[in-house]
Amino acid sequence: MKKAIFPGSFDPLTLGHYDIIERGVKLFDELIIAIGVNSSKKYMFSLEERKKFIEESFKDNPKIKVVTYEGLTVDFCKKNNVDFIFRGLRNPADFEFEKAIAHTNRDLAPIETVFLLTAASTSYISSSIVRDVIRNNGDYTKLVPKAVRVK
């Protein structure tokens, strides 16, 4: 069974994330959307809200599981028998950043990272942009799945 983890903070889930998940789930038997908990980060949405957004968005897909975790992603993978880390790439800067993490992860554990390019139509969307649009009372609904359209 090919299991992969798609880790992130998902603050909030965007259409870019949604697209990557929808396309990536076809590559694996199970895709675990893992919301990382970082106590030093200030989030716009609570952990419970972020988890609910993702669960609601993918409620009809039995191959997708949503969890929260703390600590190193490779430790989560080892504890849960996950062989692949799945990541989306929007641009060259993402690639350079993710490449360094992938090399480090592979050095720590026998876990492969699989990259998928975002769709051109969503490659400009990031959670930080969405948060900025929300903070400034802009129309963020074009940037997120329906489940996130709450504020």
CA distance 70 to 102: 18
Catalytic option among 17, 50, 51, 87 = 17
51 tagged catalytic: no
Phi and psi angles of residue 80, each rounded to the nearest 5 degrees, phi first: -115, 15
- Select which of 3, 57, 87, 127 is catalytic: 127
Which one of the listed residues 23, 65, 90, 99 is annotated catalytic?
A: 90
- Mark whether 142 is an active-site residue: no
Integer Rg of the chain from CA: 15
In the chain, DSSP assigns E strands to: 3-8, 30-37, 64-70, 84-89, 112-117
- Clarify whether 87 is annotated catalytic: no
- Residue 137 carries which side chain, given as an amino acid letter? N
Catalytic residue among 26, 40, 41, 42: 41
Q: Is 90 considered catalytic here?
A: yes
Catalytic residues: 17, 41, 90, 127
